[in-house]
Amino acid sequence: MPGMVLFGRRWSLASDDLVFPGTFELFLRVLSWIASLTLYLVHRRELDCPGGALLSTYLIVLLVLLAVIICTVLAMVCVSMRGTICNPGPRKSMAKLLYVRLALFLPEMVWASLGAFWVAKGIQCDKTVVIGIITTVIVSWIVMAATMVTIFFVFDPLGGMTSPHPPGCPEHLDSNNSNQLLTGLKTAAKSVWETRVMFCCCCVVQDDNARVAFSSTADLFSTYFSDTDLVPSDIAAGFTLLHQQQDNISSSLEPQEVVTHFPGQSQEADLDAEVENCHHFMPFAAAAYGWPLYIYRNPFTGLCRIGGDCCRSRETEYDAVEGDQHNCHFASILKTTGLQYRDFIHISFHDKVYELPFIVVLDHRKEAVVVAVRGTMSLQDVLTDLSAESENIELEAKLQDCVAHKGIAQAARYIYRRLVNDGILSQAFSVAPEYRLVLVGHSLGAGAAALLAIMLRKAYPQVRAYAFSPPRGLLSKSLYEHSKDFIVSLILGMDVIPRLSVTNMEDLKRRILRVIANCNKPKYKILLHGCWYGLFGGNPDNSPTELDEANQRALTQPLLGEQSLLTRCSPGYSSSDSPLDSPTKYPPLYPPGRIIHLEEESGSGRFGCCSAARYRARWAHEAEFGKILIGPKMLTDHLPNIVNQALDRVVADRTACVSCPGQGGPPAAVA
Question: E strand or H helix at 468, and its extent?
Answer: strand 464-468
3-class secondary-structure state, position 340: coil
72, 64, 77, 71: which is closest to 22 by C-alpha? 77
Task: Give the Cα separation of 42 and 39 in Å (integer).
Answer: 5
Burial class of residue 478 (count of CB atoms within 10 Å of its CB; 0-12, 13-18, 19+): middle
Residues 6+ apart with CB under 8 A from 632: 534, 606, 607
Instruction: Answer whether 262's CB lies under 8 Å from 594's CB.
Output: no
- Catalytic choice (234, 324, 495, 637): 495
- CB contact at 8 A, 566 and 181: yes
495 catalytic? Reply is yes
DSSP notation for 364-403: TTTTEEEEEE--S-SHHHHHHHH---EEE---SS--SS-E
Give CA–CA dist 7/247, Å, rounded: 42
Report the distance separating Cα 167 and Cα 561, nearest Å: 9
Amino acid at 172: H
* Contact in structure between 184 and 36 (CB atoms under 8 Å): no
List the end-to-end C-alpha distance of the chain, in Å, as a whole number. 54
* Whole-angstrom distance, CA of residue 444 vs CA of residue 406: 12
**DSSP secondary structure of 252-297:** HS-GGG-------HHHHHTHHHHHHHHHHHHHHHHHTT-HHHHHHH
- For 135-147, the DSSP string reads HHHHHHHHHHHHH
Give CA–CA dist 20/13, Å, rounded. 13
Which residue among the candidates 443, 476, 489, 501 is catalytic per the annotation?
443
Question: Is 21 in contact with 153 (CB distance < 8 Å)?
Answer: no
Nearest to 523 by CA among 130, 92, 62, 80: 80
- Active site (annotated) includes residue 426: no
Q: CA 310, 316, 321, 323: dihedral to nearest 10 degrees? A: 60
CB 30 within 8 A of CB 113: no
- How far, CA to CA in Å, does 447 sit from each of 22, 136, 374, 377, 441? 46, 57, 10, 15, 7
Residue whose C-alpha is closest to residue 112's, from 135, 131, 87 = 135
- Cα separation of 287 and 275, whole Å? 19
Peptide bond into 170 cis (omega under 30): no
Q: Among 98, 209, 105, 199, which residue's Cα sits nearest to residue 154?
A: 98
Active site residues: 443, 495
